Structure 1
Amino acid sequence: MAAHKVPLKLDQGATYDNFWIWKTGPKGAEVPVDLTGAKAIAEFRPELESEVILLTLSTENGRIFLNEEPGKIRFRITDEDTAALTFDGCVYDLFIEFADGSRTRRMAGSASLTKRVTRGV
């Protein structure tokens, strides 16, 4: 299955906290995917072929949370982290590694950053 295309919009200096529920099955009978014991990583790069990593989200660094409820994938980037970002746009993808070692590329797309005006907070 190809990764779902999900554009992300970040605001510089603001907390980004968003989630998606991953479901599978026939239309009308979907069930949440069991993410128990899974790990996740997402890398943000200036462009697809770039070696430069602008930002990494993972279950290991506390920026991705899995299975807070069945099938839930949550990205959380602190206001301090978004304040340090300077790109206008970039690309990312999200890999999920299940407890059995199998991996899937779940999401991918572009991310845009709206620069802040207020700097005193």
Structure 2
Amino acid sequence: MNEKELSSVIIGCALKVHKALGPGLLESAYEACLCYELNRAQLKVEQQKGLPLVYEGVKLECGYRVDLLVEDKVIIELKAVEAINSLHSAQVLTYLKLSHCKLGLIINFNVLLLKDGIRRIVNNL
């Protein structure tokens, strides 16, 4: 599957989780449930995936963790906040650049309609 197809499946799974749970829970609850749904959709999902930071050609183990990495292609940053802000978007764009992935999704479950809590971030490599 390409990134566009993956994002459709991911968003469908997120909608299912949001419909069942609604807003107001901790991010970790949504992460566990979304991971469960993505596994049910037979996607490879890695939770709290640690990725090394390469700085000036040196691999440093003080890297960063992405909430979910799907099929080694799509980074998902989960939120349970009042609103997604520009810092969240900048963070995901940095993750995309460092990991050489093309697509990131910020999914904020703390909204009445999940479509209002989804932001796509594209790394134009």
Q: Same fold (TM over 0.5)?
A: no
Higher RCO, 1 or 2 (CA under 8 Å, sep at least 6)?
1
Instruction: Tell me which protein shows more helix as a share of its residues.
Output: 2
- TM normalised by structure 2 equals 0.28
Instruction: Tell me which protein shows more strand as a share of its residues.
Output: 1
- TM normalised by structure 1 equals 0.29
Structure with larger Rg: 1
